[in-house]
């Protein structure tokens, strides 16, 4: 086994991973709750405007939708704290595993917080976070670059798939809504009221799509740079690896995240892609 990977199952490092997963899951639950709630309203509001004939009630619904839009905009990033905590804990795990210096301007999580979050972990036993198939003959700094590449590439593929689902869902909903409104000869005033009332739904989904796109593009840049180093640059400094780690940490703080259930659907596929890449690198250095 590669020397770097030999310590990845250390209990203290596993505790960091457990705490990080819990922190991210808390942030994800908040985002998913907002998403489901807005999806419900995106269906409920059109039917309510069509069924209800009382203009006073319609005006009340219109006012509520405006208030809701403001509330969603204000509180969408309220779960950022858990996201930041998850990113810091993952950063601690990576820097400890890679023997990279800790960034002096970044505050580590308190031990009490790590303990509190890790004890809340209820998932499967965590072992071999990074694939152990990496050859031990690969130089240490190149090994670090390879594992950093695994970090970025895995997330890119997952986010691309999730972004597709979000985009398709938004398009299908828009088409279905137009067909529904046209089929019942809805007047222009009601159409305006409906679309204004579901503005928060569109705003939320578009923000998610843009958030994932931004992270994908950033990680593609990091991944491409790492691949160039791995394949064509035999010598790399610790400072350069530290700079790359800073970029990875930055992308880990993106508020748009992939839900756990979606992660479960694609985990095997993503792992297979990562394993294939590692096999190709092993051949190069064997």
Give me the pLDDT at residue 135, please: 87
pLDDT score for 54: 66
Mean per-residue pLDDT, 168-189: 89
**Domain parsing of the chain, residue ranges:** 5-285
Task: Tell me the pLDDT band of 220, cut-offs 50, 70 and 90.
Answer: very high
**188 vs 171: which has the higher pLDDT:** 171
pLDDT at 168 over 90: yes
Give the pLDDT of residue 164: 94
Tell me how far apart the alpha carbons of residues 133 and 81 are, in angstroms, rounded to a whole number: 35
* CA-closest candidate to residue 24, choices 74, 109, 95, 90: 90
Question: What pLDDT was estimated at residue 40?
Answer: 85
Rounded to a whole number of angstroms, the CA Rg of the chain reads 23
Q: Are 101 and 95 in contact (CB under 8 A)?
A: yes
Q: What is the pLDDT, as a whole number, of residue 90?
A: 93
Give pTM, 2 decimals: 0.83
Q: Which pLDDT band, with edges at 50, 70 and 90, does 158 fall under?
A: confident
- pLDDT at residue 143 is higher than 60: yes
Average pLDDT rounded to a whole number, residues 72-82:
63
């Amino acid at each position: 086994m590669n020397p770097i990977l030999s310590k990845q199952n250390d209990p203290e490092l596993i505790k960091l991973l457990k705490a990080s997963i819990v922190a991210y899951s808390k942030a994800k639950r908040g985002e998913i709750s907002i998403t489901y709630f807005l999806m419900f309203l995106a269906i409920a509001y059109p039917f309510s405007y069509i069924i209800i004939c009382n203009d006073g009630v319609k005006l009340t619904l219109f006012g509520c939708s405006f208030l809701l839009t403001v509330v969603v905009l204000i509180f969408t990033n309220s779960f950022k704290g858990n996201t930041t905590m998850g990113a810091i804990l993952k950063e601690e795990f990576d820097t400890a595993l890679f023997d990279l210096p800790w960034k002096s301007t970044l505050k580590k999580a308190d031990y009490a917080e790590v303990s509190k979050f890790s004890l809340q972990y209820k998932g499967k036993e965590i072992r071999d976070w990074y694939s152990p198939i990496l050859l031990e003959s690969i130089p240490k700094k190149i090994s670090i670059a390879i594992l950093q590449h695994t970090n970025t590439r895995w997330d890119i593929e997952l986010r691309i798939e999730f972004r597709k689902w979000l985009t398709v869902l938004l398009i299908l909903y828009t088409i279905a809504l137009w067909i529904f409104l046209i089929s019942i000869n809805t007047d222009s005033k009601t159409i305006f009221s409906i679309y204004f009332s579901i503005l928060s739904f569109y705003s939320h989904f578009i923000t998610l799509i843009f958030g994932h796109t931004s992270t994908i593009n950033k990680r593609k840049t990091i991944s491409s740079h790492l691949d160039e180093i791995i394949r064509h640059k035999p010598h790399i400094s610790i400072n350069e690896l530290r700079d790359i780690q800073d970029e990875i940490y930055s992308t880990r703080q993106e508020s748009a995240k992939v839900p756990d259930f979606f992660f479960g659907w694609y985990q095997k596929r993503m792992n297979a892609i990562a394993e294939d890449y590692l096999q190709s690198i092993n051949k190069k250095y064997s």
